[in-house]
Amino acid sequence: MFTKLNLTSNLMHSRVFEIKRYQTPYKKECISNSVSSIYSVSGWVRARWLHWRSSCVRDCKRSPTPEDARSATTPRRQTARTMFNMKLKERLALAVSAFLILFTLMLIVDLQMDYGISGHRVPLHGRVKIVDDVDKGNSAYIEFRKRFLQRSNGSNSSREFEQSAPSETSGLDTEPRTPSPPADRFEHLQRILLLQIQGKSVDHAVIIPPHKDLNVIRPENPTIGEMEDLEPSLNASNLEKFQLKIAQHELYEDGEKLVEAILKDMSTTSILHVEQKEGGTQLKLIIDYPNGVQALFKPMRFARDVQTLPNHFYFSDYERHNAEIAAFHLDRILGFRRAMPVVGRVLNMTTEIYDVTEGDILKTFFVSPANNFCFHGKCSYYCDTGHAICGNPDMLEGSFAAFLPSSDLAERKVWRHPWRRSYHKRRKAQWELQSDYCDTVRTTPPYDSGRRLLDLMDMSIFDFLTGNMDRHHYETFKMFGNETFTLHLDQGRAFGKAFHDELSILAPLLQCCFVRHTTLAVLLKYHNGVSLSSILRESMKADPVSPILWEPHLTALDRRMVTILDAIRKCVEKAENPLENELNDIV
Ligand SMILES: Nc1ncnc2c1ncn2[C@@H]1O[C@H](COP(=O)(O)OP(=O)(O)OP(=O)(O)O)[C@@H](O)[C@H]1O
Ligand SMILES: [Mn+2]
């Protein structure tokens, strides 16, 4: 009994600890009230029980009487009498306490499920209504997936299990594979684009023409500098100038010269100071350069050809520094320009990290058995000796992302992504269960008008290309309101599986059947012209730590492109011939 009680109290402790980690401030207050009421209520119940027991010692502990023998139901009657004798107030209190205990338990279970192990404590802006939990079996996503898998020649779905273990992959299969010339040029989609440019087919349900797209019309497009009435000073750094030029509809203009200048600054300027970034799940460093310039550093953990471990969930995958670099280039090539510039650099861990940092992180440095200089920092994932970041012997490669403007200059708003995953190993997210999930999103602000839903479609395409399943939240600049672009931040978990195309990342597009004319035009341009992989490979050659991507990841881009175009074509066909398609689906 004693052990059991102890176990229960341990469990309670660990649950209270879990609550502390995952709750939102409102829920925190609510839960702590409930938890304290568990304690006070259970204290009250104990006092009540002790009182009852002491009165029982007086009245109940006696030799059995003939009366007792006559009635087998006496104890029950006594309990009933005791209950009856209880004051109404006491009975009410008992009922309330039982309810509170149940409610708290439900809340704890719900929170653990909701926040999984990622532990994000961001306010849930733009919440999406929860509707039915039933899979009606006809969702575009499920249906496309079914067809896709049926058609699959095995290169997409099965090879993920054939991935070599990380240590075995090095040096293998690195020859560039030229994809066979595309047989399918998606001419029907091209025709629609042409018609829209000619001012026809402008009410298309799937492809949103430029003149209806706020990202193209841009009635206003002020910069942060204009909004804040600030101009860069004479000795302003390139980054400061860049930050003031960030506009409502894009981070930087097409061909912006400051991008190259920032990349050069971050990869060559001397490092003044380093500190660990608070928050986030994996280790990141804030790098200080002269003139107030800052970068976010993610360290290299393993070689380019090491893939996500087959038994790792997306949320327990390591971050890849090269994924950040590649994603920046890809974002730019696709014409989004919503990712901050990122560059690679090799650091001397002694002079450029150890000597210029202070505090707790210093205590985590050590020399490994292989005589390499290592450290692990402090964070909630992989910050221990077993997962240390090691130099060779003290040279360490990493990615350097240009710092976003400080919150004093431009505060950001964090939004919960409507298609976020459950971050729980057994639980599914709402969008995976509800076939008409997009209808719910479409009618919920800010997705019911303007550019936001189209931005999420772009993000879904971008993430599907890179294989990034970790899009739990996204951010916008507050000062621009809702009609502004969504930042493409945190691509650390992209480019993890070269031989697997994760169709669920495309769920927003598949469920909404909605895409920008301009985005489709770019996709078709690369599909029918010089391939996306070639353009990306070329763009990344300029990086100091090139080659950035393992060739199979580049090949995957061209393959995934076909899947996206196929999905859009299917949406178009469905919109144009709804009846015929329904019949086909049944057959
Ligand atoms: N270039 C940047 N400049 C300044 N802040 C940034 C930059 N990139 C990301 N951040 C901020 O740092 C936070 C953590 O970054 P990031 O998401 O890359 O790390 P993470 O460890 O993967 O976090 P999480 O586990 O929450 O996904 C982001 O939420 C963002 O607000
Ligand atoms: Mn992340």
Of residues 367 and 72, which shows the higher confidence score? 367
Candidates 265, 317, 463, 470; catalytic one: 470
* Span 117-125, average pLDDT: 33
Q: What's the CA gap between 527 and 276, in Å, rounded?
A: 42
Q: Tell me the sheet residues that pair with 373.
A: 367
Q: What's the CA gap between 328 and 311, in Å, rounded?
A: 28
Question: CB of 242 within 8 A of CB of 252?
Answer: yes
pLDDT for res 78: 59
Query: Is 470 part of the annotated catalytic residue set?
Result: yes
* Span 278-299, average pLDDT: 93
For ligand 1, atom 8: residue with the closest CA: 489
Q: Which ligand is nearest to the CA of 412?
A: 1
Q: Tell me the sheet residues that pair with 275.
A: 286
Q: Is the pLDDT of residue 18 over 70?
A: no
Please tell me what DSSP assigns to residue 447. T
Of residues 65 and 175, which shows the higher confidence score? 175
Q: Is the pLDDT of residue 125 over 60?
A: no
Q: Is the CB of 390 under 6 A from ligand 1?
A: no
Q: Is the CB of 343 under 6 A from ligand 1?
A: no
Closest-CA residue to 335 (of 280, 255, 437): 255
pLDDT for res 113: 36
Average pLDDT, the chain: 80
Q: What's the CA gap between 478 and 415, in Å, rounded?
A: 11
Q: Kindly state the tokens that stand for 393.
A: 């012997």
Q: Is the pLDDT of residue 132 over 70?
A: no
Q: Is the CB of 403 under 6 A from ligand 1?
A: yes
> How many CB atoms lie under 10 A from the CB of residue 335?
16
Distance 489 CA to ligand 2 centre (A): 9
Q: Is the pLDDT of residue 356 over 70?
A: yes
Which segment of 55-64, 519-528, 534-543 scores lowest on mean pLDDT? 55-64
Judged by DSSP in three states, 306 sits in coil
Question: CB of 381 within 8 A of CB of 117?
Answer: no
Question: CB of 553 within 8 A of CB of 495?
Answer: yes
Q: Is the CB of 296 under 6 A from ligand 1?
A: yes
Which segment of 28-37, 169-178, 185-194, 375-384 scores lowest on mean pLDDT? 28-37
Q: With pLDDT > 70 as the criterion, what percentage of the chain qualifies?
A: 70
Which segment of 76-85, 188-197, 259-268, 420-429 scores lowest on mean pLDDT? 76-85
